[in-house]
Structure 1
């Protein structure tokens, strides 16, 4: 059974430093990945910066020791962010690089750590103002012609970036990944508040979702679980809006006979533009709980969806 959800591997591998992977960290990662696979997740999301490469390393070890997991799953990874002591020199600032040498070296490192010959998709993690689109695009086309990637994705970018890369790439641009959740609602707030003073508070790339829908580009939502604040995690003290939203989530979950996590993630699935939420918890129970999100989305009425939105924003729509 395939799921519209994506399993995010950011938490695998332990701390974001160059320490060794412990046996406990490997076992926890294996348990989480197996739970996601058994729940129907078939797309696993990586990045070279996650745990300083250890996320990919531990995943590669899991695949080597559990060959059944390799059957039917797809892998995507990201490149472009340089973090000191991680993907960048110790004395450097955080910066972004999408030049030819950086992209190639990053992908080759990811493939080696994952123990695979290619990935389904290479995602550019952030835009790089100092590298021309032509150089980046040609590099990606070269990687595809060599059979190392099948397609390209963009993360944390605007409609302008999407349109520009579509012009320079021969390789299909198949996905855009951006933060979206009940707690990060700019994608719907900006849609309805264009003529309202309140609308100036929100910043979401105008036209991005409609463009992706028209060009059949998959939209992936990172941070989809809103850090768990509506589904069991203690909200910040005094955050009455989060508490009220959790109450709505609880009531809908009980009525639908699904988990709270399913309601939170299902709110994104209910949107008509085919959003694919990225789920990054390592807790097997919460992974299985999120797997009910398609059921929650199917049962969620128009009014339910708006009730969740209104509760999360803390006041009525205009």
Structure 2
């Protein structure tokens, strides 16, 4: 798949997620096999560009290319200014958010709320495309609600205004993340436009990835929540698509190594105070389903320093490894007898 001059190494893209797809997470997912990762959304309101949060979101130092930055807003001129600003800060692709279902975004007529106003959609897309000399992409949903699915109309507007790739989440704004994603609308859009189409929603396994690609004809897939605490899903899917076979799951030792490295990157990026707090949700995601993880997560949320957080994480995983070895030895003894 190609976006402008950027040829992606595979069909796997990390979805933009507020509070999640910061630079450490994007870099990690790229190391784990993702071809591209879209940043957290950056507001088009220039009054916020000087805030610490926005400066962090606009930090791409050392990031593996291509660098894709998502912008959000409802005013064409402000969106154009935001695109120029982020291009100057190092963005190589500008992504426009018309897919976020969050109330605080939709209440200001941004995100997926924009799909209600097709005329305004066209004005925003044209303004942003005209403002920068780098590729512009768009993320949408299938429509505003199940009775008003207008993804096909928006897709045609996108193509006509010069958008170079379109990502579609297989739910409407009204559905939020409830129920199951549907892919028929994505398949319909793919048959009607020439620009690359990216399928998004409920892609949680290698088999589902292959199924969605086959059923929609999409050029790529976008994975969000399934990568939280499981960044190796990208290498698992890539391997499965290439060979038809599953990779062995990561061992607890490898999960420990990946998590510890991720924690250090969070501390470096945010500083200790904010880094420790950002790390809590990632630690919770990484340890889902592991023995004793509920009590561990509860205790983790009380820790206030990175040293305490790292020590507790090491202890948890080292205990898991020791228990696994005891089980192996017990099995061996049974086998010998």
Q: Which TM-score tier does this pair reach, normalised by the shorter chain?
A: 0.3 to 0.5
TM, length-normalised to structure 2: 0.45
Higher-Rg structure is 2
Q: TM-score, normalised by structure 1?
A: 0.48
